[in-house]
Structure 1
Amino acid sequence: MEIVHLLRAVTVELGMHSARFAQRNGMHPTDVRALIALMDAARAGEETTAGQLGAALGLNSAGTTALVDRLERAGHVRRVRSDRDRRKVTVTVDERAVALGWQHFGPLIDRAVDLLHGYDARELAAIRGFLTGMREAAQEDRQQATGSA
């Protein structure tokens, strides 16, 4: 249970770190989660529509529109029409938002990377496996709680 308790403590600390970022930048915690979801999708080479973003965050259509409008007004995201299908509008993170995030989260990310350099390939595989399993368990729990797949 010690590892579970440490994971919980890390989760709480990271949540507080994210909340400080949101507060300092006049954002709602959901705004930060949205930016993270959009950056993760971009890193995976995926375009994200407002509907997909809302589904990922558990928001209804009106809440998603308000979220994207708020982030767009703040200059954190842009709505972009698809080159292939002009009816399709995706949401992308503006580079200024990425830079703002790196100012706050960069030192912590650097620290995490430095810590990981201390592990060999087998240990990194174990860490990756544990974190992947925990993420999947949390996603399954969320899906069961919301009745979504």
Structure 2
Amino acid sequence: MGKDNRAAILRLLQQFTAETERYVDVVSTKDALHRTDLHALGILVGAAQSGTTVTPGRLREELNLSSPATTALIDRLTSAGHVTRARSDIDRRQVHLEMTEKAQAAGSRLFAPLAEHISAALDEFSDDELALLTTMLERITAATITAKNDAGRLPGPGPGATLGP
């Protein structure tokens, strides 16, 4: 694959990411949800689909929030009726977060249009093309996770460092 094709793919991935973020901005105002609230609900959806549980600690780590910010987020989602807290049956000290039916309905309502449009676009591809695209996106996602982890290990700016000119 030539450099022009790789550059085009990288440009399109960047554009897709930007447009997805813009979509989240638009739909988050529809239910008075913060962007972080939607990301938290996305984590809860993913956990439910994989049969895992979400604790406040896991949410804090995945969203890269401080403990007070995580508590405020969970309180906000609980007050809005999107999340419930439940004590673990195994370790009563541990709290599990569970998405409510209200949150599931809101998520479906907010993200169904995006899913429908993307699904319609995917309908234009053969099974073989979709399999290739799946492999490509899995590898790109893994590469992005690796880059994020690498970036997290980089030293921060020195004392007195400023951004920009």
Change (3 A) 1:114 1:31: same
Could you tell me which runs of 5 or more consecutive residues in structure 2 were left unpaired when the two chains were aligned: 1-6, 155-165
* Residue of structure 2 equivalent to 1:2: 8
Per the alignment, residue 144 of structure 2 pairs with 138
Alignment of 1:1-149 (within 5 A): 1-147=7-153
> What is the root-mean-square deviation of aligned Cα atoms in Å?
1.7
Distance 2:54 2:136 in 1: 28
What is the TM-score normalised by the length of structure 1?
0.90
Would the alpha carbon gap of residues 147 and 61 (structure 1) be closer, same or farther in structure 2, given more than 3 Å must change? farther
What fraction of aligned residue pairs are identical, expressed as a percent? 36
Larger Rg over CA atoms: 2
Q: Identify unmatched segments of 5+ residues in structure 1.
A: none
Any idea what the Cα deviations from partners look like across 1:70-117, whole Å, max 9, x if unmatched? 111111111111223322211111111111121121022122223323
Which SS does the other structure have where 2:93 is aligned?
A: coil
